């Protein structure tokens, strides 16, 4: 639960009668500026008790790890400019961290959350307080565990409202509703990934997708566990859509209704209408739903199912909920039961053209109030290949990877990232990186090949904890190239600590001589998570203006577990407000 308190005003001291008018005026301004209504933001306090609780889905009851006994977890609500303080208390046997996905964490890298990157995990019986300020963001983000696969049940919404007395750049909605997509496993997801890493095989897939924790009527034994969105005719609703699923990008649609996209990853976008969306894990999309002007004698299915082009196995099922209109008059329950149920239409599972079309429509507002500050010049350029690969089996063992002598792996520039046993940020801050990480991450693929053509014979990757070091305020251009090794597929890449601009994307191999000519440097979409197209490339730009160690990884957790991850180290700037402060006193130890 959370409580909210305003800034505390100072009490007036006794001002001597001989104080000058100027002093009184200055003091008066100070007191007024200390009042909550004049303050930039307030401080919001939350307590997250990490505990076990029993949940039944698909007629299977199991003990899950959750926050405050809620699944999905409680919403964190703040206004732009507010300070958020979350005390996390670990009552379970697992090590835990919480990541505030998409929050910029300006000079608050200690609060970012990825285990062994910015912090050691919170151990059983320990407490850690996350302390950060929401700066220059408004919309929807999410929080989730950031260690192993605990985020399967440890997740919830972050709702960021505009500053007080500021409004949306669209008509104020009648109601705002968070809708979180998730994945449900009948067994402990920790056991699933543990087994996969031991055998070298792909992990068992989930048993269902969920909407706000509920699988819905298309799954066995789940008709009562169905999310129902009840609406009134002639109203506009803001749906805050969040994909918290572990391993699946999801198409979403509502039968016979059009959605207007207004915000992506807590950044306003040029509004556009669509009857379908793609939301990748870690992505958020705010849409306006205008209900029909009069009561329709129908219930409308809202449904989501995966987008996938790879060669592995996935949970190819559909989660559904009901959009139900509340009739203005009190009709009998029997007549309400006779309404027509209309189905949602979703794209084919491998509809890459639909995905590309939706990506092209996302543009920043790029106006005077909400500018798109795209770096126009580039200080450093990087070219990273991303995709699957293999590691050899340990000696005298048999594996269940692509062959019986290999394990599945994943890499960036052929480096499969190994998490260290102490936190990188701590090692960086105290100058103790020796034996923790190296700073020689390759800026280009070590062995160029036809990335989207016939795969090379040798698919083995290297393993290491390697990072890229950036000077403060470096403007970065990064091209991410998918590879067809073990199948071309989309990779939703998430960058911690920054938003980035998607300046270009395309299919096939990136051509550094031709493709930059088509880059959008005027109004590209600004995100924290974006899909590298299956068999294609994505070009992003960002300004390294946030000191710290910042994780970048595929947000399909299976790929992260296999090593599709790396770290950027941004050095302090020259000014005091450009330096990372020391760690908080309660920072967990490894």
Domain spans in the chain, listed from the N-terminal domain onward: 40-166, 170-327+340-364, 380-578
List of residues 6+ apart from 509 with CB closer than 8 A: 450, 451, 452, 453, 481, 537
Residue 307 predicted with pLDDT over 50: yes
Choose between 385 and 29: higher pLDDT.
385
> What's the average model confidence in pLDDT over 190-195?
98
Q: Alpha-carbon distance 339 to 297, whole Å?
A: 5
**Whole-number CA gyration radius for the chain:** 25
CATH of domain 380-578: 2.60.40.420
Class of domain 40-166: mainly beta
> What's the average model confidence in pLDDT over 241-256?
98
* pLDDT computed for residue 25 by the predictor: 38
- Tell me the pLDDT band of 327, cut-offs 50, 70 and 90: confident
- Tell me the pLDDT band of 51, cut-offs 50, 70 and 90: very high
* pLDDT computed for residue 40 by the predictor: 75
Residue 571 predicted with pLDDT over 70: yes
**What helix, strand, coil percent values describe the chain, rounded to 5?**
10, 40, 50
Q: What is the pLDDT of residues 544-554, one digit of tens each?
A: 999 999 999 99
> What's the average model confidence in pLDDT over 381-403?
95
Q: Is-same-fold flag (40-166; 380-578)?
A: yes
- Tell me the pLDDT band of 37, cut-offs 50, 70 and 90: very low
Q: Which residue has the tokens 């251009």?
A: 477
Q: Alpha-carbon distance 542 to 357, whole Å?
A: 24
Q: What CATH fold (topology level) applies to the domain 170-327+340-364?
A: Immunoglobulin-like (2.60.40)
CA angle 98, 138, 3 (to 5 degrees): 55
* pLDDT computed for residue 574 by the predictor: 97
> What's the average model confidence in pLDDT over 168-172?
96
Alpha helical stretches, state H, 430-580: 557-562
> What's the average model confidence in pLDDT over 373-396?
97
Could you tell me how many helices (H) and strands (E) the chain has, helices first?
6, 34
List of residues 6+ apart from 390 with CB closer than 8 A: 401, 402, 403, 406, 407, 408, 409, 459, 460, 461, 486
Q: Which residue has the tokens 């739903």?
A: 289
- Tell me the pLDDT band of 277, cut-offs 50, 70 and 90: very high
Sign of CA dihedral 132, 135, 138, 144: negative
- Tell me the pLDDT band of 2, cut-offs 50, 70 and 90: very low
b/e string for 110-147 if b means 16 or more Cβ within 10 A? bbbbbbbbbbbbbeeebebbbbbbbbebbbbbbbbbbb
End-to-end CA distance of the chain: give it in Å, rounded. Answer: 29
Q: Alpha-carbon distance 180 to 486, whole Å?
A: 31
> What's the average model confidence in pLDDT over 280-302?
97
From 297-301, 335-339, 392-396, 469-473, the region with the lowest mean pLDDT: 335-339
> What's the average model confidence in pLDDT over 31-37?
38
Q: What is the pLDDT of residues 468-507, one digit of tens each?
A: 999 999 999 999 999 999 999 999 999 999 999 999 999 9
Choose between 23 and 78: higher pLDDT.
78
Q: What is the pLDDT of residues 86-135, one digit of tens each?
A: 999 999 999 999 999 999 999 999 999 999 999 999 999 999 999 999 99
- From the number of C-beta atoms within 10 Å of its C-beta (0-12, 13-18, 19+), residue 291 rates as buried
The secondary structure of residue 9, as a DSSP letter, is P
Residue 537 predicted with pLDDT over 50: yes
From 12-16, 216-220, 336-340, the region with the lowest mean pLDDT: 12-16
- Tell me the pLDDT band of 331, cut-offs 50, 70 and 90: low
- Tell me the pLDDT band of 150, cut-offs 50, 70 and 90: very high
- Tell me the pLDDT band of 337, cut-offs 50, 70 and 90: low
Q: Alpha-carbon distance 534 to 350, whole Å?
A: 10
The answer to whether residues 205 and 81 touch, using CB atoms and an 8 Å cutoff, is: no
Q: Alpha-carbon distance 180 to 209, whole Å?
A: 10
Give the neighbor-by-neighbor strand order of the sheet with 406-412.
Answer: 462-464, 415-417, 406-412, 380-392, 474-482, 536-544, 500-507, 526-527
Q: What is the mean pLDDT of the chain?
A: 93
b/e string for 506-529 if b means 16 or more Cβ within 10 A? bebbbeeeebbeebbeebbbbbbb
* pLDDT computed for residue 330 by the predictor: 60
Choose between 22 and 459: higher pLDDT.
459
From 24-38, 109-123, 408-422, the region with the lowest mean pLDDT: 24-38
- Tell me the pLDDT band of 228, cut-offs 50, 70 and 90: very high
> What's the average model confidence in pLDDT over 512-535?
98
């Amino acid at each position: 639960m959370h409580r909210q308190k305003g800034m505390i005003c100072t009490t007036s001291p006794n001002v001597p009668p001989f104080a000058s008018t100027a002093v009184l005026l200055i003091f008066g301004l100070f007191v007024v500026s200390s009042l909550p209504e004049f303050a930039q933001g307030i401080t919001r306090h939350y307590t997250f008790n990490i505990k076990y609780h029993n949940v039944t889905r698909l007629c299977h009851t199991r003990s899950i790890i959750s926050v405050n006994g809620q699944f999905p977890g409680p919403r964190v609500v703040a206004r732009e400019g507010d300070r958020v303080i979350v005390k996390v208390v670990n009552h379970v046997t697992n090590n835990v961290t919480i990541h505030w996905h998409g929050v910029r964490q300006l000079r608050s890298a200690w609060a970012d959350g990825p285990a062994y990157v910015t912090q050691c995990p919170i151990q059983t019986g320990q407490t850690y307080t996350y302390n950060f300020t929401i700066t220059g963001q408004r919309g929807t983000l999410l929080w989730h565990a950031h260690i192993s696969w605990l985020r399967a049940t440890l997740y919830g919404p972050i709702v960021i409202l505009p500053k007080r007395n500021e409004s949306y750049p669209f008509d104020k909605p009648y109601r705002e509703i968070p809708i979180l997509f998730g994945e449900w496993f009948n067994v402990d997801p920790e056991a699933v990934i543990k087994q996969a890493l031991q055998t070298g095989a792909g992990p068992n897939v989930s048993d269902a997708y969920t909407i706000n924790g509920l699988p819905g009527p298309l799954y066995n034994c789940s008709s009562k566990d169905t999310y129902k969105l009840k609406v009134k005719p002639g109203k506009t609703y803001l749906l805050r859509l969040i994909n918290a699923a572990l391993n699946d990008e999801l198409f979403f649609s509502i039968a016979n209704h059009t959605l207007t996209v207004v915000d992506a990853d807590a950044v306003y976008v040029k509004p556009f209408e669509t009857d379908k969306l793609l939301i990748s894990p870690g992505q958020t999309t705010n849409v306006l739903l205008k209900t029909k002007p009069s009561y329709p004698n129908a219930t409308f299915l809202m449904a989501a199912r995966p987008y996938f082009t790879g060669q592995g196995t996935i949970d190819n099922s559909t989660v559904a909920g009901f959009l139900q209109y509340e009739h203005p008059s009190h009709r009998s329950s029997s007549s309400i039961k006779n309404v027509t149920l209309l189905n949602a239409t979703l794209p084919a599972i491998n509809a890459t053209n639909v995905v590309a079309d939706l990506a092209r429509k996302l543009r920043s507002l790029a106006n005077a109030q909400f500018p798109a500050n795209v770096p126009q010049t580039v200080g450093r350029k990087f070219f990273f290949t991303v995709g699957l690969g293999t590691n050899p089996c340990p000696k005298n063992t048999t594996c269940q990877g692509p062959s019986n002598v290999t394990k599945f792996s994943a890499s960036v520039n052929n480096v499969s990232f190994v998490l260290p046993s102490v936190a990188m940020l701590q090692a960086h801050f105290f100058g103790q990186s020796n034996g923790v990480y190296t700073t020689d991450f390759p800026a280009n693929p070590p062995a160029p090949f036809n990335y989207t053509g016939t795969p090379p014979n040798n698919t083995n990757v290297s393993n290491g904890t390697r990072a890229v070091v950036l000077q403060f305020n470096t403007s970065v251009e990064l091209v991410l190239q998918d590879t067809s090794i073990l199948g071309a597929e989309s990779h939703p890449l998430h960058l911690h600590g920054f938003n980035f601009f998607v300046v270009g994307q395309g299919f096939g191999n990136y051509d550094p001589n031709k493709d930059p000519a088509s880059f959008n440097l005027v109004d590209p979409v600004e995100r924290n998570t974006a899909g590298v197209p299956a068999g294609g490339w994505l070009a992003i730009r960002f300004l390294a203006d946030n000191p710290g160690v910042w994780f970048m990884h595929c947000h399909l957790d299976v790929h992260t577990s296999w090593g599709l991850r790396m770290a950027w180290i941004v050095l302090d700037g020259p000014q005091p407000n450009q330096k990372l402060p020391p760690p908080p006193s309660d920072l967990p130890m490894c």
